Amino acid sequence: MKLIIDICHPAHVNFFRPVIYLLKKNEYQIKITVLDRGKLPAIANNVFPGFDLQITNKHRGTIWSILFEANVLKFFKLFWICYKFKPDIGISAGSFVLGTVLKIQGIPNIQFDDDPERNANLFLESITATKLFFPVFYSNISRNVGKYNALKEWSYLSPRHFIPDPNIPQQLGLKHKGYIFIREVSVGTLNYLGQGKSLIASISSLFPQQIKVILSLEDKSTISNYPVEWILLREPVMDIHSLMYFSKVIISSGDSMAREGAILGVPSIYCGIREMAANRIMIEKGMLIKNSNITELPQIVRNVIDGKVSFEDQVSFREKITNEWEDVPTFILNSINSLI
């Protein structure tokens, strides 16, 4: 059985990783296509050594590149790849391009998304997908649109698929729960139009000085805007989720890593501008704080560090959502098998 998987965002490497290895065990012939976007090809090569990986097209972070290179030109590249590979089924997340190609070629495809706020994308996904799936919060179910009982980050962060390595922080000289993890995203995407550049950098000097900070910085050219004592991570990072798991608090200007932190049971603060149903799930569970007033962020961090804001015990929290949510890779595998 031949299967093609299209990856266009670093978070989707993790989303698909467990099911790709499940498929490999079941002797599927797998082709992985990857968008040339920042460090994404290097990350994919690191996570999927020995797999058939092929670059589709560029994503340079400009509006023109996003619309033309990462969609129009990518369509033609994927069309030729699929014509030669002749897959039996395709899977993608957050993008309708592969689905469009496969629909034209008469091949079933499954698409995943967790961002129904993007109305145009949602419409194009729904008309090109054989099956389109959203996480637990989605309610507009139809003939070819369904949902799974979890968030997408649960695919790779549930205890079934992720066991934190306590040695990872020690390799950077960090003590468990003795450091802050910060993620600063680039705003060169359609999702972050209108969000200020280097949000966290603008107030970085106001953070508590007594605790170490590790920085996951998408646009490395802005590193001079941050305190020199902050520890910059270089991709591909070995076991970044263990670094997150053992941190005291996580701060992110991007939504994906904010949710990851919350799902790991770490008090997490999202300081970006997006309003997302996926985020509300974790806010309601009490592990995610959303605050777009960047000037308030240092005080919120101090309150968390000083214990002035209470959160559920990390282990208990993860056990609770393990009992609530289903195993996402198993759901994906069953969805594939149901279309074959």
In whole angstroms, what is the distance from residue 110 CA to residue 144 CA? 10
Residue linked to tokens 């997340």: 93
Tens digit of each residue's pLDDT (9 = 90 or more) over 269-316: 999 888 899 999 999 999 999 988 888 999 999 999 998 988 999 999
Looking at residue 188, what DSSP letter applies?
Answer: -
pTM given for the model = 0.91
Q: Please give the radius of gyration of the chain, using alpha carbons only, rounded to the nearest integer.
A: 20
In whole angstroms, what is the distance from residue 7 CA to residue 32 CA? 7
Q: What is the dihedral of CA 120, 219, 134, 52, to 10 degrees?
A: 100
pLDDT of 189 reads 61
Instruction: Determine the 3-state secondary structure of 106 from DSSP.
Output: coil
Looking at residue 71, what DSSP letter applies?
Answer: I
Degrees to nearest 5, angle at CA 199 with 233 and 119: 100
Is the distance from CB of 102 to CB of 109 less than 8 angstroms? yes
Q: Are strands 89-93 and 2-7 parallel, antiparallel or unpaired?
A: parallel
In whole angstroms, what is the distance from residue 340 CA to residue 335 CA? 9
Q: Six-digit token pair at 287?
A: 């592990």
Q: What is the dihedral of CA 264, 268, 272, 274, to 10 degrees?
A: 60
Identify the segments of the chain with pLDDT beneath 50. none
Domains of the chain: 2-158+326-339 (3.40.50.2000), 167-323 (3.40.50.2000)
Tens digit of each residue's pLDDT (9 = 90 or more) over 173-185: 999 999 999 999 8
Cβ–Cβ contacts within 10 Å for residue 339, how many? 12
Fill in the amino acid letter for 307: G
pLDDT of 194 reads 57
Total number of residues shown for the chain: 340
